Chain A
Amino acid sequence: DAKTTQPPSMDCAEGRAANLPCNHSTISGNEYVYWYRQIHSQGPQYIIHGLKNNETNEMASLIITEDRKSSTLILPHATLRDTAVYYCIVRKSSNTGKLIFGQGTTLQVKP
């Protein structure tokens, strides 16, 4: 599975959009980009995933560049409850099921 690079930490003002970048320059054609988050030692929570096209659900939007070497997770209106560690994971379409969590980005949403 391809390696990902994320900034270690980011701040965001409450009510503003949080844009979390992820670099995955070695991604291959059959690898998906997944985003999970972990709120203070709770179990990781699935947010969104995509292959090529941009995706949106009730939690967030995922923007994947055309060359697929990077992506951005967008939380449109961040709240204090969105403070968490966000993990960008690149995953093959067929593997053992293992999720490889890197160090992630700690997002601090401030009032």
Chain B
Amino acid sequence: EAQVTQNPRYLITVTGKKLTVTCSQNMNHEYMSWYRQDPGLGLRQIYYSMNVEVTDKGDVPEGYKVSRKEKRNFPLILESPSPNQTSLYFCASSRGQVDIQYFGAGTRLSVL
């Protein structure tokens, strides 16, 4: 089954403790992206990747890192999480940057 898989689905952590949210897709898609969703602000793009080893900043990249060493994986790294990064995170992938995007189920992160 074609899917985008995020892990973990739920995470509670403390300020400053590094964490990684994984994202994996099995559709051989070139394009992958991370969004965060906050009440009243909608979904906002954090980072995106056009292909392996090609990443770029979205609208709200501060405090986040990403890597794209393999086509299927696009992890989101929070080196030193802060409470303002408490949010619902979604990973998405598509064949190309203008194709239909498929979203993961989401990761709900709470930073205390």
Contact = CB atoms under 8 A, between A and B. Distances in A.
A64 B5 CA distance: 34
Interface string B78-109: 00000000001010101011101111111010
A45 B97 contact: no
A68 interface: no
A15 B110 CA distance: 39
Contacts, number: 57
Interface of A: 41-46, 49, 91-99, 101-103
8 contacts: A43-B106, A44-B103, A45-B103, A97-B48, A97-B98, A99-B101, A101-B43, A102-B42
Contacts of A92: 98
- Is chain B's interface secondary structure helix, strand, loop, or mixed overall? strand
Nearest to B6: A43
A41 B106 CA distance: 8
